[in-house]
Amino acid sequence: MSKNFKVSLGIDEDALASCVSCGLCLPHCPTYRVTQEETASPRGRIALMRQVEAAGVADDTFISFMDACIQCRGCETACPSGVPFGPMMETTREALADQTSYQPRYRRLGYSVLGMPRLLALGSRLIAVLQRLRLIPSRLALPRIPLRQTKLKASGDDVWLFTGCIMDAWMRDTHAAVKRVVESTGAGVRLPGNEAGCCGALHVHAGLTLKAKKLANKVIEAFPGTNPILVDSAGCGAQLKDYGHLLGTTKAAAFSSRVFDVHEWLAENLDKLPKINSDEPPVIVQDPCHLRHVQRSHEAVRLVMNQYIGTIELDDDGLCCGAGGAYSSLHPETAAEVRTRKLESINRSGGTNVVSANPGCMLHLQQAGVSIQHPLELVDSIIARAMKRE
C-alpha cells in the first residue's frame, strides 16, 4: 500500500497555473516518448504537482513519478506558454528531500563524496586499479579510469578553466585538450585547483539544495577577480550560470555573469583560433540538454567546429540521450530505452563519429558503443596534426 506524507511543495502559484495543458511538449519529453504514460509527461507531472499542492499530501507513487523525470528541460524549450518546468521540478524535489524520505542516507552520502576532491581522487584511483585487475563487473559500464592523472599547469590568467569533480577525476585529458585549444587563441589559462571542486548540479537535481548552496559558495571563493570562467561540461556550466538565482546574492550574480560555456567564449574569439585546412570527414553533433535547453548556447559548438570540420545534424530536435547526471545510474532501464532513440537518430544521420560537450552524455553513449569525443578534443587533435605536418 502506498504511504502518505504531509508535504508543502512551495511552488510559485503563477508557475503552476501557467501550464494550459496543450500537450505540445509531449513529443519532446523522453520519458513520455518511452512510456506513452501521461504521468511520465511534463503536463502530467505538473497536474500531479497541482493536486499535491492543493491537498498538502503526497504518496510514494507521486515521489516515483517526480523521480522518473530526467530534468532534461526539453519541455521548456518546446512550451509556447513559457512554463518554468525546471525550477518547478527543482522546488518539488527540494520539498520532497526536506520533508519526506525521498533521499535516503546512502544516496546523500554518495552525493557528499562529490564535494570531497581528495576522497574522490583516492576512490577513482582504487577503481582504476580494480579495473586493471578485472575486478570491476562490466555490467557497471564504468569508463576506463586513468591510473595516472595528466598534470594541468596554469599558463596565465586571461581566463579561468573550471575543472569540477568527476570530470577532473575521470576525464582530465579532456580538460587538457580544451586548455590547449583555448591557449591556441593566445589566452593564458588559470586553474582553480582542489578548492573549487563540485558545482552542485547533481545535488540540485536531487533536491539537496542546502548542500548545493554550500558547494556554490566554495566555488565562488575559488575564482577571485573578474576574468571569464570557461566551462567544458554543459551540466556544470548551466549550474554555475544559475548561482545568482540559487544564492540570491549580488556576489553570486556577478560570479554567474563571468561564466561561459567554453564554446561560447571561443565563438567570440574565432579570429584568434589557428587557421587550418583540414580534410576530416564531418562529425555528428549531439547537443547536451543543459547546453541546448538550459544554457541555449548549442550553436556556439557548431561555429567553433565549422572552423575545422563539417557537422552533421541529428533529426530528433535535441531529444535527451538519457544520461541526465545521476539518472542513468538511478534509472538504468529507462535511460537505456531513451538512449535507444538517440542511437536510432545517430544511425539515420549517415555519420559515424559523434561529438558532445558534456561528460555524462559522452560516457552514456560510449557505453552503447558510440564513437564519441568532446568537440574540443577533436579540434585539439586536428590542430595538433596540422602543426606536425608544418
How many beta carbons lie within 10 A of that of residue 12, not counting itself? 12
Among 34, 48, 66, 74, binds ligand SF4 (CB under 6 A): 74
Separation between Cα atoms, residue 355 and residue 382, nearest integer Å: 14
Q: Cell digits for 219?
A: 566555488
Binding mask 203-242 for ligand SF4 (x = CB under 6 A): ----------------------------------------
Segment near ligand SF4 (CB under 6 A), from 16-24, 53-61, 279-287, 297-305? Answer: 16-24
Q: Is 111 in the site for ligand SF4 (CB under 6 A)?
A: no
Separation between Cα atoms, residue 104 and residue 308, nearest integer Å: 48
What phi and psi values does residue 123 have, to the nearest 5 degrees? -60, -40
The CB-of-208 to ligand SF4 minimum distance in angstroms stands at 18
Please, are residues 293 and 77 in contact by the beta-carbon 8 Å criterion? yes
The CB-of-320 to ligand SF4 minimum distance in angstroms stands at 6
Q: What DSSP element (H or E) covers 171?
A: none
Separation between Cα atoms, residue 22 and residue 37, nearest integer Å: 16
Q: Is 30 in the site for ligand SF4 (CB under 6 A)?
A: yes
Q: Is 347 in the site for ligand SF4 (CB under 6 A)?
A: no
Nearer to ligand SF4, 28 or 190 (CB): 28
The CB-of-295 to ligand SF4 minimum distance in angstroms stands at 15
Q: Is 85 in the site for ligand SF4 (CB under 6 A)?
A: yes
Among 3, 8, 10, 23, binds ligand SF4 (CB under 6 A): 23
Nearer to ligand SF4, 83 or 177 (CB): 83
Separation between Cα atoms, residue 261 and residue 297, nearest integer Å: 8
For residue 220, give the nearest of 178, 182, 260, 192 by alpha carbon: 192
Sign of CA dihedral 200, 201, 204, 205: negative
Nearer to ligand SF4, 97 or 283 (CB): 97
Q: Is 83 in the site for ligand SF4 (CB under 6 A)?
A: yes
Among 5, 15, 16, 24, binds ligand SF4 (CB under 6 A): 24
The CB-of-51 to ligand SF4 minimum distance in angstroms stands at 15
Sign of CA dihedral 107, 109, 112, 113: negative
Segment near ligand SF4 (CB under 6 A), from 14-22, 52-60, 227-235, 357-365? Answer: 14-22
Among 9, 11, 31, 262, binds ligand SF4 (CB under 6 A): 31
DSSP letters along 322-348, please?
S-TTTHHHHSHHHHHHHHHHHHHHHHH
What Cα–Cα distance (Å) separates residue 67 from each residue in 46, 64, 82, 208?
13, 5, 23, 13
Nearer to ligand SF4, 90 or 261 (CB): 90
Count of H-run helices and E-run strands, the chain: 22, 10
Binding mask 34-53 for ligand SF4 (x = CB under 6 A): --------xx-x--------
Which positions touch ligand SF4 (CB under 6 A)?
19-25, 28-31, 42-43, 45, 69-75, 78-79, 81, 83, 85
